[in-house]
Amino acid sequence: MSYLFASDYDRTLADEKDNFVIKKEVAEFINNFSSRYPFFVVTGRERKFISKLAPALKPTGWVLENGAIIIYQGKVFTNAPNNWPEVRKEVLEELDRTGIQYSVGEVIVYVNNVINPLNINVKGVKVEWNRNDAMILPDNVDKGSGVMFVKSLLNFSGKVVALGDSQNDLSLFKVADIKVAVGNALPEIKAIADIILDKPNGDGILEFLKGITSGRMSL
């Protein structure tokens, strides 16, 4: 059986206490692990943040912007409909009217620390959450569709092992064969996980991956 690993980044590989900078030993282990198993980092983050937070991390590939941008073998793919620029313009106009601050990625519109309800009345749009942060995206884009994109890109028909902690990992878990929650995962993620790690964040992932390479852990 072949396995493809799909791991969230914030609070799964990197700890909030470290300002989401990945630990050196976690990055190095994943780099080596990626030569044995395809390992994709699947995150809400944009390219510009990842290159600051994890410059040494070299996985097999990336699914960024919560499923919208895929990077593999130096190529960048966009998993969004062709009319997204026009749709997104309407979203931004609506946010501007209500005075909500946001940042814009290649596809994603990101609203940090949402306090009031966020109602976006634009067709073809959905909101995904990571704790209190909102990610506004085309309605067919999430981490799950990003991983499906990767599976077809690689012509991969083995099992997907998903690693995550938070609401925006639910779609990732939906397309996974084996769901792994870090020790610090939200209760709703732990509730549907096949494996719950003892340790939080990158420490949990490191122990899990070491278990696999040493043969102590079988999938």
Ligand X SMILES: O=C(O)COP(=O)(O)O
CB of 45 to ligand X, least distance (A): 5
Nearer to ligand X among residue 4 and residue 8 (C-beta): 8
Helix axis angle for 201-214 and 24-33, nearest 10°, is 30
β-pairing, 125-130 vs 75-78, is unpaired
Nearer to ligand X among residue 187 and residue 215 (C-beta): 187
The site for ligand X (CB under 6 A) is made up of 8-11, 43-45, 130, 133, 166, 168
Nearer to ligand X among residue 114 and residue 122 (C-beta): 114
CB of 127 to ligand X, least distance (A): 12
Q: Rounded CA gap, 178 and 163, in Å?
A: 9
Which SS3 state, helix, strand or coil, does residue 214 take?
Answer: helix
Nearer to ligand X among residue 34 and residue 171 (C-beta): 171
- The pair phi, psi for residue 179, each rounded to 5°, is -110, 125
CB of 20 to ligand X, least distance (A): 8
CB of 187 to ligand X, least distance (A): 16
Contacts of 94-100 spanning 24+ positions with Cβ under 8 A: 94/120, 94/121, 94/122, 95/120
Nearer to ligand X among residue 158 and residue 174 (C-beta): 174
Q: Specify whether the CB–CB gap between 7 and 40 falls below 8 A.
A: yes
From the candidates 8, 10, 169, 203, which is the catalytic residue?
Answer: 8
CB of 216 to ligand X, least distance (A): 27
DSSP-assigned states of every residue in 67-133: GTEEEETTEEEE-S-TTHHHHHHHHHHHHHHHT---EE-SS-EEE-S--S------TTEEEEEETTE
**Closest-CB residue for ligand X?**
44
- Whether 10 is a known active-site residue: answer no
Q: Tell me the catalytic residues.
A: 8
